[in-house]
Amino acid sequence: MLSKTLQNTINNQIQAEMFSSYLYLSMSAYCETNNYLGAAKWFKLQSEEEWEHAMKFYKFVIDRGGKVQLKAIDQPQHDFKSLLGAFEETLSHEKKVTALINKLYEQSLKETDYPAQIFLQWFITEQVEEEANAVAIIERIKMVGEKASSLLWIDKELGKRAKE
């Protein structure tokens, strides 16, 4: 059984993951509107992945005999200064999510909730990957510059992302 504290913290994480999904869907719409169709696909897949993360937390709460309490999702940013700006926002956002996951893990340690610790290990590893992916894309955009021909190449590469 989950403690009330851990249950509430995980319910907050469900909200954060759903917001992440909403934010990446907004970024996808921005990219599609600006004809970055590869990046739009990348962000749409990212949105779906974040929704799946929310559902993992949802199922964990239920499986542990807890109560899921869904919370309101804020409106995400919808305009970005550039493709680079969208990915810089991605990195900033993923760092915030990493901090939330780390706090969740700290709470599970404090409560000696071993099932939660094991469950959260996957998310800790996932966040390392999420941040590394964002950094790699930002560095590639900076490397080639923001000229149209360079961004078309980056956009084409981003469009190769497959559902994981």
pLDDT (tens digit per residue) in 30-78: 999 999 999 999 999 999 999 999 999 999 999 999 999 999 999 999 9
Prediction pTM value: 0.94
46 is a domain residue: yes
Q: How far apart are CA 22 and CA 79, in angstroms?
A: 13
41 is a domain residue: yes
Q: Which domain covers residue 60, as residue numbers?
A: 4-69+78-158
57 is a domain residue: yes
Q: What is the pLDDT of residue 162?
A: 76
CATH number of 91's domain = 1.20.1260.10
Give me the helix-helix angle, 83-110 and 4-33, nearest 10°. Answer: 170
pLDDT of residue 147 exceeding 90, the answer is no
Give the mean model confidence (pLDDT) for residues 132-153: 92
79-136, pLDDT tens digit by residue?
A: 999 999 999 999 999 999 999 999 999 999 999 999 999 999 999 999 999 999 999 9
Q: How far apart are CA 114 and CA 18, in angstroms?
A: 25
Pick the residue with more confidence: 162 or 74?
A: 74
pLDDT of residue 148 exceeding 90, the answer is no
- Provide the number of structural domains found in the chain: 1
pLDDT of residue 8 exceeding 90, the answer is yes
106 is a domain residue: yes
164 is a domain residue: no
Give the mean model confidence (pLDDT) for residues 1-16: 97
Mean pLDDT is lowest, of 3-17, 67-81, 105-119, 144-158, for 144-158
Q: Are 117 and 108 in contact (CB under 8 A)?
A: yes
163 is a domain residue: no
Residue 164's pLDDT band (cuts 50, 70, 90): low
